[in-house]
Amino acid sequence: MALLQYMCSLPLARAVGSRALTIPSRSVTAVSSLGKASGTDPHVLLGLSEPELQQLAVDFGQLLLKLEDNRLIETVGIPVEDDKGSVRLTACVSSQVGCPLRCSFCATGKGGFSRNLKRHEIVEQVLAIEEVFKHRVTNVVFMGMGEPMMNLKEVLGAHQCLNKDVQIGQRMITISTVGVPNTIKRLAAHKLQSTLAVSLHAPNQKLRETIVPSAKSYPLDAIMKDCRDYFLETNRRVSFEYTLLAGVNDAVEHALELAELLHEWGRAYHVNLIPFNPIEGSEYRRPYKKAVHAFSAALESRKITCSVRQTRGLDASAACGQLRNEFQKSPLLASSDDLQSESEVDLAA
């Protein structure tokens, strides 16, 4: 416990102490508070009682959490039952309050950026999921709000705590990134057994720049080289995330171009296709199932393994950042410390 307090701070230490039992209500006050109690009326945030909120979280798997400074972040619980009745519970955690990279299809980026999360604020999201679902978290994915590689120190600290103290296997943890210069190399040096997931969203540099503005400072060839080197350094397969946007990047021709790109840089890859989850005010549309199937079939015809993510709750603000934006209307402003760290990343580019 002394080690846990040193690594992850006191608020987390209090919660982990009772992890094996029924975790008392502390981090989720009206599905709201991480760290110290904010004193907020638990009925204010969504206008529902705590049992109603917990049932809502179980139904849709999505929590809205309030931090000590009243900032809001999202955490998602994804329970999956196999044929034998065993339940795998995945926690999708945020690493920042908002996101500075502003990918064009992402609701999180539209809400602005405030600050990086501390390691205990990341780990407590996992404990909040356990509390609501009354089940042990088996998998963790850093695919919530924010760019994990822009908060790599705290993400690695949370990763260590989740592995060593919360006892989630490294291979059950995935760290996602849209690509930040020099950070994949830094991550490779730690030789983690976790999965690196890189958000590509396009098979060529020109199209990727229209979808991911930060791609201008990190060309596609450079990120693919770093992914190849990551595999050589860690012997861990890189997974690629590809959000399918109707009429933008979802044609069979795009799939064939993507397959050619992956074959050029190696074969130890997997593609996770994500049909776009519509968000308010977006110009993008969700592709038809026929287009998704054709894209997947084209990849498989070129010997690229892929899977299609089953999105849930299309009417429940399920896109990352969308629920937070409904309750935090004013655009976020970055703190001076986090603005400095963002500038350092720009200089690295």
Q: What would the pLDDT profile of 224-264 be if each residue is shown by its tens digit?
A: 999 999 999 999 999 999 999 999 999 999 999 999 999 99
Residue 39 has pLDDT above 60, yes or no: no
By three-state DSSP, how is residue 150 classified? helix
Q: Which of 29-38, 163-172, 211-220, 333-342 has the lowest mean pLDDT?
A: 29-38
Among residues 8, 92, 227, 320, the one annotated as catalytic is 320
Residue 140 has pLDDT above 80, yes or no: yes
For the chain, what is the mean pLDDT?
Answer: 79
Nearest to 216 by CA among 69, 109, 54, 101: 101
Q: Which residue has the tokens 């604020």?
A: 121
The pLDDT, as a whole number, for residue 167 is: 96
How much is the average pLDDT of 140-159? Answer: 96
The pLDDT-based confidence of 70 (bands split at 50, 70, 90) is confident
The pLDDT, as a whole number, for residue 281 is: 74
The alpha helices in the chain, defined as continuous H runs, are 2-8, 10-16, 50-60, 107-110, 119-133, 152-164, 183-189, 205-211, 220-234, 252-264, 289-301, 322-327, 336-348
324 vs 201, more confident: 201
| Sign of the alpha-carbon torsion through 256, 262, 263, 265 | positive
The pLDDT, as a whole number, for residue 50 is: 52
Residue 75 has pLDDT above 70, yes or no: yes
The pLDDT, as a whole number, for residue 343 is: 45
Per the CB < 8 A criterion, the answer to whether 116 and 164 are in contact is no
Residue 41 has pLDDT above 60, yes or no: no
344 vs 208, more confident: 208
81 catalytic, yes or no?
no
103 catalytic, yes or no?
no
* 185 vs 193: CA distance, rounded Å: 15
Exposure string of 81-92, with b = 16+ CB inside 10 Å and e = fewer, is eeeeeeeebbbb
By three-state DSSP, how is residue 168 classified? coil
* 178 vs 157: CA distance, rounded Å: 20
pLDDT tens digit string along 89-116? 999 999 999 888 878 777 666 778 889 9
* 142 vs 148: CA distance, rounded Å: 7
Among residues 8, 74, 103, 154, the one annotated as catalytic is 74
Instruction: Check residue 23 and report its DSSP letter.
Output: P
47 vs 52, more confident: 52
Q: Which of 21-25, 67-71, 149-153 has the lowest mean pLDDT?
A: 21-25
The pLDDT, as a whole number, for residue 59 is: 56
Per the CB < 8 A criterion, the answer to whether 280 and 106 are in contact is no
* 226 vs 209: CA distance, rounded Å: 18
334 vs 166, more confident: 166
The pLDDT-based confidence of 64 (bands split at 50, 70, 90) is confident
Nearest to 349 by CA among 154, 205, 216: 216
* 84 vs 205: CA distance, rounded Å: 44
